[in-house]
Amino acid sequence: MWLHLLVLVVIIFLYRWYRYSLTLENLSDKYVLITGCDSGFGNQLAKRLDELGMRVLATCLTEQGADNLKKETSSRLQTVILDIANTSSVHSVATWVSNILGEKDLWGLVNNAGTGMPGAPNEWLSREDFAKVLNVNLLGPIDVTLKLLPLLRKSKGRIVNVSSIVGRVTFCGGGYCISKFGVEAFSDSLRREMKPFGVKVSIIEPGYFRTGLNNMQNMKDTLKKIWRNVHPEIRYSYGEEYFHNYVSDLERTFLSFSKEDLTPVTDCMVHALTAVHPKTRYSAGWDAQLFYVPLSYVPTFLADFLLTRAAPTPAH
């Protein structure tokens, strides 16, 4: 009985391994647009795909980011400036892509661009603070996808949306977690709508990695600015000690758990774009796979306890 079960498990494992190991041919003919290539995941992915011989269309927020990327890649890679929160900029980039493609197809879109700030306890923030993050992390990718969807339907291509493990489990205030839950919902609905057209949609859920989004000094400076602008009554309720403990906990978590090697994430992105059978979801990083994904399935009271047991204590 147990031997038969073990054999069945091994067969299933080998079948899945073989299925997911199959890769596409003629990668050099495939164009892929990646957003947010100044640094981090997008920058590394652009270089990886360029090494594979793919035709990379890399969007950057700054001219410096675009120039640096072009110096480190082949002449195949092309860059363009994109402010993903600006719909006019998105429209211009969509036109640029169409002009470059001509009669060729757009194989892939990687919605990677994002921002983590401003982020803080919800009560410290304004509506505008939430909107800044949602415009970049959620509405921007939706805008880009809608503009390029006709091209992706034509090629029966791939859409890769970069979410986060906080799209499953919320552990901080502000718009970041909200935006990633939104990315998950948008991706799920899009995947089901695009299935009859042959377009495959994948979600990447990274754990805690060190990218341009979470530079520790920038986060500390932003939090100090937010704290200075908090209403006096709110500052009194939380207290200065709460603020300093909040920043210290954030820094300790960053130094203890964030990973500098971005390869686990970009490996998932490459697989989603080049595998014959891409996965629906990719959880990247040991913290995502061993802690946050399991945490998303436990009862709410237990998840709340685990995530708040070391939280700072307010003054009043």
CB-based contacts of 272: which residues, under 8 Å, 6+ apart? 158, 160, 202, 204, 278, 279, 282
Can you read off the two tokens belonging to residue 143?
Answer: 């805008």
The answer to whether the beta carbons of residues 274 and 23 sit under 8 Å apart is yes
Mean pLDDT of 70-95: 93
- What average pLDDT does the structure give for the chain? 88
Residue 97's pLDDT is 95
Angle at 115 between CA 86 and CA 43, to 5 degrees: 90
Q: CA 229 from chain center: how many Å?
A: 29
pLDDT tens digit sequence for 253-281: 777 777 888 899 999 999 999 998 999 99
Between CA 224 and CA 161 the distance in angstroms is: 31
Residue 309 has pLDDT above 90, yes or no: no
Domains delineated in the chain:
26-290+304-308 (3.40.50.720)
Sheet order of strands, 281-284 included: 78-81, 55-60, 31-34, 106-111, 158-162, 200-206, 281-284
Over range 115-141, report the average pLDDT. Answer: 90
Q: What are the residues facing 203 on neighbouring strands?
A: 161, 281
What pTM value is reported for the model?
A: 0.88
Quick check: is 176 catalytic? yes
When mean pLDDT is compared across 80-84, 115-119, 132-136, 293-297, the lowest value belongs to: 115-119
Please tell me which residue in 15, 18, 31, 176 is annotated as part of the active site: 176
The pLDDT tens digits for 28-61 are: 889 999 999 998 899 999 999 999 989 999 999 9
| Between residues 235 and 93, the one the model is more confident about | 93
Determine phi and psi for 290, rounding to 5 degrees: -100, -20
Higher pLDDT, 68 or 119: 68
Assigned token pair, 36: 């947010």
pLDDT above 90 for 292: no
pLDDT in tens, 193-233: 999 999 999 999 998 887 766 667 777 888 888 888 889 89
Q: Work out the pLDDT band at 184, boundaries 50, 70, 90.
A: very high
**Which candidate, 307, 273, 300, 306, places its Cα nearest to that of 112?**
273
